[in-house]
Amino acid sequence: MQAQATTQLTLYSPLEGPVCPLENVPDPVFAGRILGDGVAIDPINSRLTAPCSGRVTQLARTGHALTITTEEGAEILLHLGIETVHLKGQGIYPKVREGDRVNTSDVLIEFDADYIALHAKSLLTVMIVTNGDRFDIIRRDNSSTVTTTTPLLILRERSTVQNNIPRNTATGELSCPVVVALAGGLHARPAARVRETARRFSSQLEIAYDGKRADCLSITALLGLGVSEGEQVIVYARGIDASAALDAMAQTLQTHIETEAISAVATVNTVVSSHAAAGVIKGICASPGLAMGVVVHWDDTDVVETDSLNASHPEFELERLTSALQQVTAKLLARVAKAKEAGRDTEAMIFDAHMGLLDDPQMRMQAQTLIQQGDSAAKAWQKTIMAQCQVLAALPNPLLAARISDLHDLKKQVLRVLMGKSEKALPVLPQNTVLIAEDFTPSDLEAIDRQRVTALCMKSGGPTSHAAIMARSYGIPALVALGDAASQLASGTKVVVDASAGCLETVPNAERIAEVAVRQSQAALHQQNILQNAAAPAVTTDGRLIEVAANIANISDAQLAAAHGADGVGLLRTEFLFLGRDSAPSQQEQVATYQAVINTLEGRPVYIRAIDIGGDKPVAYLPFPLEPNPALGLRGIRILQVHPAVVETQLRALLSIAPLSACRILLPMVTDADDFVRLRTRIDTLAQTLGIKEAVSVGAMIEVPSAALLSSVLAEYADFLSIGTNDLTQYTLAMDRGNPGLASQLDGLHPAVLHLISQTVAGARLHGKMVAVCGALASDPVAVPVLIGLGVNELSVEPGQVPSIKQLVRKLDYEKCAREVKTLLGLASAAAVRAHCRRVWPL
Ligand code: PEP
Ligand code: MG
């Protein structure tokens, strides 16, 4: 049917009884018209009938809500009572099934009105037009009481152009039920994954649950569904690739992602004791540890109430909002890049989720509507966020409620830009600050001087908040849910934070202070001992030298590596020079940076990796062809095929380093000897052209199983081999290293990976070449004896871990390690390897 701009539709009352405006419904989702406009009826009968003819396109499992889609495409949601999902179908008797065609006044649901009135929040039943972008309510019946013959709402379709898009495609609408396996349900980060999946398709994807329907591109709408783990939802897809989109979305929803936030809840429950002594404020542990310091109250009152702000012309306010959102997005982008560069993946994921929230079409539309109605950009943004917070607060899922803090974060950041306070002036904190706030937001924690903060205390918040997750990743002890008592503490008060025990000790006596000081100084002494020996070589008890170098990503890491006694740099990830900017760095800029690193290491070898972009590290100004599997595509040295000039410039910069003998060039993602020789020849020719007489040291990263299997051939041409266990594990086990759902299984100690390491060492030995490990496995104390036993010569670890890994090496016996490794190679799984290691080398 070709819809006309004038198409009108009558919705008859589905019940008999008094009419109630939507804003009076005791549910913020309906009252706030989050799902669309409509009306509510307080039924005096017990039969819900069809308000129009159409098809039942969605019926809640519990029967309390259904959607009728009319021939014209209007979607009418009928929700029987408020919070009736909890009744689990009791007292509700649907008379139709999904897919049934119905005519006006056909009985849809019979119900036991008394039972529902007694057991649910309210019997008020709403009728909502959920696709209000296509249909306007142009008239309402004014009667205070209606019957099923009352034409309650008249709808008019908006425009022909809009209407034709999805409905008239050849494929129509597809749907399938899916049980959500995402741990904790559809909270922010899983919702971001849902959105990512939806973005891969041109079809429109929606998820329906509990009578609500959410566009998969809108994170706030997805959060508003309140879907918990194990609940069934219906996924709808409309468009040319609907079938593929539906499959992909079902797969995303069915992937169990164990989030860090959830495991934290379990931890917390074990550490909180129930009795609070005098002078102790009880909270919940969000990040374990013991700290002592002075109270400083975190002040973010720079974002004032916006009520006093007057709105200019809507056009102008709209422009201001758009520009503010752009500025905050750019900042978030930089934060994601910075966190990735530093290897703080969780933090990167949090800011990535914030970008998703900021880009949410539903929130943006809501703010724009408010501006059109006369609000200033700041006021509109504030109102939008507050409405969304209300929705989340009303949901029973604590994980979703914890996302309120993220919305506050975005509120603050956008308001600061709108009010011309683009950066909050950060207070200078005293050493050993115990920072107290209502609730920290991720951007607060990213911005503060963390060197001076010894503990974080939050009056509200929960252990699943993103601030709590970040505190754990920074290793700062943190407490949440301390309540208002924490506000009463005067600034400067000396306190003890025993986060592991869930206690903020507000009046520690001299004895307690001394006890904490002793424990802290014991820990410091231990650390100091390790540090004092850091520069000494790491030699096993039976005399085998193991080089312990550092993995670095910038100059400050290089300084940290040198200060921690690193024997060199085992991996300089040069991507940091290329990420987060608009164009590639010039040769001069690169030379200056590499030279600064070489100088900082004062003659110790520095393994500089040729640029490894593509895959999980895209660079906007270096376009790559669209690839279905970027991790298996043009990444590492394969970029030579698409951006040869970038590689050439970098090689020229590397060959300008002095002394060149300190620089080792490391080629990433080598597949076989041919692959390596092709680039090595290019480097040697370039060196000749530049008049370089000395040999250039060039090695291969072993990240691809084929390179490990063929190492005996490869090692003939390479000066050294360096095993990138992060990628080698991903490609050996066929598990995406960026997939949180697989994170717990992605273990470099898997026997299959150990076999490849063993084979790499054997291949290198044939030609007298050294083997390093520069993947994260080298920093894992459980793996250190295994790698040594496999015959690895160098471990390249996080700069701060150099001293402790060296200390560990000094306690090991190489012969014993080699013996034990033979057993490990015959084990069945990574878990078995870990268990064996713990028995043989208890930490
Ligand atoms: C590796 O793959 O182990 C490695 C060190 O490289 P990256 O983590 O940078 O891919
Ligand atoms: Mg790698």
Q: Is 382 near ligand 1, meaning CB less than 6 Å away?
A: no
CA of 843 to the centre of ligand 2 (A): 28
CA of 739 to the centre of ligand 2 (A): 15
Query: Where are the alpha helices (H) located in 455-532, listed in sequence order?
Result: 466-474, 510-532
Neighbours of 744 (CB within 10 A): 11
Among all bound ligands, the one having the nearest atom to the CA of 726 is: 1
Q: Which region holds residue 480: left if phi is over 0, alpha if psi is between -120 and 50, else beta?
A: beta
Q: Name the residue at shortest CA distance from atom 8 of ligand 1.
A: 726
CA distance 733 to 748: 9
Provide the whole-model pTM. 0.54
Closest by CA to 506, choosing from 279, 189, 796, 348, is 279
Ligand 1 binding pocket includes 727 (Cβ within 6 Å): yes
User: What residue's CA is closest to ligand 1, atom 9?
Assistant: 573
d(CA 501, CA 512): 15
What is the whole-number distance in angstroms between the Cα of residue 557 and the centre of ligand 2? 19
Confirm or reject: Cβ of 100 under 6 Å from ligand 1. Answer: no
C-alpha span between 456 and 152 (Å, rounded): 55
Measured CA to CA, the distance from residue 666 to residue 794 in angstroms comes to 15
Ligand 1 atom closest to the Cα of residue 727 is 2
What is the maximum alpha-carbon separation in the chain?
A: 96
- φ and ψ at 375, to 5 degrees? -80, 155
pLDDT at 743: 64
Counting from 1 in the atom list of ligand 1, the atom nearest the Cα of 777 is: 3
Verify whether ligand 1 is closer than 6 Å to residue 616 (CB atom).
Answer: no
- At 271 the pLDDT is 34
Task: Kindly give the distance from the C-alpha atom of residue 726 to the centroid of ligand 2, in angstroms, as a whole number.
Answer: 6
726 CB within 6 A, ligand 1: yes
Q: How high is the pLDDT of residue 261?
A: 38
Distance CA 794, CA 565 (A): 14
Residue 259 C-alpha to ligand 1 middle, in angstroms? 23
State the closest ligand 1 atom to the C-alpha of 551, by its place in the atom list counted from 1: 5
Q: Is 834 in the pocket of ligand 1 (CB under 6 A)?
A: no
CA-based end-to-end distance of the chain: 72
CB 73 near ligand 1, within 6 Å: no
pLDDT number for residue 152: 93
Q: What is the Å distance from ligand 1's center to 618 Cα?
A: 15
Q: Is the CB of 725 under 6 A from ligand 1?
A: yes
Angstrom distance (rounded) from CA 22 to CA 33: 8
Helices 644-655 and 673-689 pack at an angle, to 10 degrees, of 60
Ligand 1 binding pocket mutation candidate from 701, 721, 733, 792 (most atoms within 8 A of CB) = 701
Which backbone phi and psi does 494 adopt, to 5 degrees? -85, 125
Listed in sequence order, the DSSP H helices in 533-672 are: 555-563, 587-600, 644-655
Q: What is the pLDDT of residue 424?
A: 56
336 within 8 A of 351, measured Cβ to Cβ = yes
Which atom of ligand 1 approaches the CA of 615 most closely?
Answer: 10
Tell me what percent of the chain is helix, strand and coil, each rounded to the nearest 5: 45, 20, 35
CA R_g for the chain: 31
Does residue 703 have its Cβ closer than 6 Å to ligand 1?
A: yes
H or E segment to which residue 498 belongs? strand 494-498
From the CA of 669, the nearest ligand is 2
User: How far, in Å, from the CA of 772 to the mean position of ligand 1?
Assistant: 13
* CA 726 to ligand 1: nearest atom: 3
Within a 13 Å sphere around the CA of 769, how many CA atoms are in the beta-carbon half?
25
Residue 724 in contact with ligand 1 by CB distance below 6 A: yes
Quick one: which atom of ligand 1 is closest to the CA of 776?
3
User: Among 575, 635, 727, which residue has the most ligand 1 atoms within 8 Å of its CB, making it the best to mutate?
Assistant: 727
**608: CA distance to ligand 1 center in Å?**
13
Cα distance between residue 437 and residue 292, in whole Å? 17
**Taking a C-beta distance cutoff of 8 angstroms, is the pair 543, 319 a contact?**
no
Question: What are the residues facing 546 on neighbouring strands?
Answer: 538
Site to substitute for ligand 1 among 573, 638, 735, most atoms within 8 A of C-beta: 573
The candidate with the shortest Cα–Cα distance to 319, out of 418, 462, 183, is 418
**Residue nearest ligand 1's atom 1 by CA:** 724
Q: Which of 635, 703, 771 to mutate to test the pocket of ligand 1 (most atoms within 8 A of CB)?
A: 703
CA of 744 to the centre of ligand 1 (A): 18
Three-class SS of residue 578?
A: coil
Cα 555 to chain centroid, rounded: 27
Report which ligand 1 atom has the smallest distance to the Cα of 571. 5
Ligand 1 centroid to 556 CA: how many Å? 20
CB under 8 Å, gap of 24 or more: what pairs does 369-375 form? 371/311, 371/314, 371/317, 371/318, 371/321, 372/314, 374/311, 374/314, 375/311, 375/317
- The CB density around residue 395, as the number of other CB atoms within 10 Å, is 21
Catalytically annotated residues: 466, 774
3-state per-residue secondary structure call for 44-96: CCCEEECCCCEEEEEECCCCCEEEEECCCCCEEEEECCECCHHHCCCCEEECC
The answer to whether 290 and 497 are in contact (CB under 8 A) is yes
Give the type of residue at 597. Answer: V
Residue owning the nearest CA to atom 10 of ligand 1: 727
775 lines ligand 1 (CB under 6 A): yes
- d(CA 29, CA 49) in angstroms, rounded, equals 23
Nearest protein Cα to ligand 1, atom 6: 724
| Ligand 1 near 774 CB (within 6 A) | yes
Which regions in the chain score pLDDT beneath 70?
1-6, 28, 32, 34, 159-172, 188-189, 256-278, 301-311, 343, 345, 396-402, 422-426, 464, 580, 615-618, 738-744
Structure tokens at 192: 């971001």
